[in-house]
Amino acid sequence: MYSFICDYSEGAHPNILKSLASTCYEQNEGYNYDRHCINAANLIKKEINHEDVDVYFLPGGTPTNLISIAACLRSYEAVIAPSTGHIEVHETGAIEATGHKILSVKTPDGKLTPSHIQEVLDGFEDEHTVRRKMVFLTNPTENGTIYLKSELLAIRKICDENDMYLYIDGARLGSAIMAEGNDVKMEDLPKIADIFYIGGTKNGALMAEALIIVNEKIKPDFRFHIKQRGALTAKGSVLGIQFEELMRDKLYFKLAKHSNDMAQKMAREFERLGFTFLTDSPTNQIFPIIPNTIITELEKSYQFYVWQIIDKDHSAIRLVTSWATPEERINEFLKDLNQLAQSLHMIKNL
């Protein structure tokens, strides 16, 4: 049984494990003040070509989102997010538990647009309603789609016009950056977002996210927010070491490219066989629409999510590849898929 459930099933890239093992007996200052966190932060600043940012290392995506949003907003302020956004559907109401409302917007592909945001802004707003203060988006989205630079700049513009922060959840940022057709560079992000993070957990790290704060208004006392929310890690060097390795020799981007390549190899074969997709995803998540009879057979050897029921005979499944997905496994899956598709074709022709 091979899993295409998610991109964090495996442990961590061997370079990271080797580095962690080699530093086991080091004595490091705690709470991100160690030399590894400082070095990793400098490597990230170099990668994004922006020195005047604050970098923090956190142990997971949900605490990163929770802390970032709670730190930016006053008690009566809210965040605008797509209805498929991670903070809306996969974080157990974490944002609402901080006292902040999520104003969700339905989108066809998981991507926010200025018109979506304007619809929320056009609603009645005074002291009787929450104030719209932040726009949350994920790149790539939960649907595997990516934002072009022009789309992000358009969202930046409406945020500026309405005094709102723009926060980019980068849990799979490497996958977006390395996707075919992407024109957003790492150095573009601090020019577009007020705050964003580079996800490591879903791209080769054991557990580590690098949060980058650009806007000067957000920077003061941010460590207090991290500590209060329980994410100021005593052994912060463990997080810093992971990003040292991910940033070394472009490993972060090599791993993301491999992940994308494996998914897109599957996507091309689904397309060749005549199947369509729920969304147009160039990343490591693909959503082919296939007959339920084929799904039932595939489930005997592979794990994946049945993402959406299309009709009584067809459903969209989600297949996710990772930095560690062996191409041999992809080839085995495609061989099985072809056999099932051929059998279905033969049955139809009887």
Domain edge (last residue) among 222, 251, 280: 251
What pLDDT band is residue 6 in, cutting at 50, 70 and 90? very high
The per-residue pLDDT for 350 is: 43
CATH number for 234 = 3.40.640.10
| Residues 290-323 pLDDT 10s | 999 999 999 999 999 999 999 999 999 999 999 9
What pLDDT band is residue 124 in, cutting at 50, 70 and 90? confident
Same domain, yes or no, for 49 and 139? Answer: yes
Q: Is residue 158 situated within a structural domain?
A: yes
Beta carbons of 61 and 171 less than 8 angstroms apart: yes
Domain edge (last residue) among 185, 220, 251: 251
The per-residue pLDDT for 126 is: 83
Same domain, yes or no, for 145 and 29? Answer: yes
Same domain, yes or no, for 282 and 223? Answer: no
Q: Is residue 289 situated within a structural domain?
A: yes
Q: Does residue 157 surpass a pLDDT of 80?
A: yes
What pLDDT band is residue 116 in, cutting at 50, 70 and 90? very high
Q: Is residue 120 situated within a structural domain?
A: yes
Q: Is residue 6 situated within a structural domain?
A: no
Same domain, yes or no, for 25 and 153? Answer: yes
Q: Is residue 169 situated within a structural domain?
A: yes
Q: Is residue 9 situated within a structural domain?
A: no
Same domain, yes or no, for 160 and 130? Answer: yes
**Three-state SS sequence of the chain:** CEECCCCCCCCCCHHHHHHHHHCCCCCCCCCCCCHHHHHHHHHHHHHHCCCCCEEEEECCHHHHHHHHHHHHCCCCEEEEEECCCHHHHCCCCHHHHCCCCEEEECCCCCCCCHHHHHHHHCCCCCCCCCEEEEEEEECCCCCCCCCCHHHHHHHHHHHHHCCCEEEEECCCHHHHHCCCCCCCCHHHHHHHCCEEEEECCCCCCCCCEEEEECCCCCCCCHHHHHHHCCCCCCCCHHHHHHHHHHHHHHHHHHHHHHHHHHHHHHHHHHHHCCCEECCCCCCCEECEEEEHHHHHHHCCCEECEEEEECCCCEEEEEEECCCCCCHHHHHHHHHHHHHHHHHHHHHHHC
| Residues 184-205 pLDDT 10s | 999 999 999 999 999 999 999 9
Q: Does residue 347 surpass a pLDDT of 70?
A: no
* Six token digits for residue 172: 């799979």
What is the model's pTM? 0.95
What pLDDT band is residue 345 in, cutting at 50, 70 and 90? low
Same domain, yes or no, for 213 and 256? Answer: no
Same domain, yes or no, for 186 and 278? Answer: no
Same domain, yes or no, for 179 and 261? Answer: no
| Residues 200-246 pLDDT 10s | 999 999 999 999 999 999 999 999 999 999 999 999 999 999 999 99
User: What amino acid occupies position 140?
Assistant: P
Provide the number of structural domains found in the chain: 2
CATH number for 258 = 3.90.1150.10
Same domain, yes or no, for 142 and 287? Answer: no
Same domain, yes or no, for 277 and 219? Answer: no
Q: Is residue 7 situated within a structural domain?
A: no
Domain edge (last residue) among 219, 251, 283: 251
Q: Is residue 3 situated within a structural domain?
A: no
Domain span at residue 324 reads 252-349
Same domain, yes or no, for 40 and 170? Answer: yes
Same domain, yes or no, for 176 and 299? Answer: no
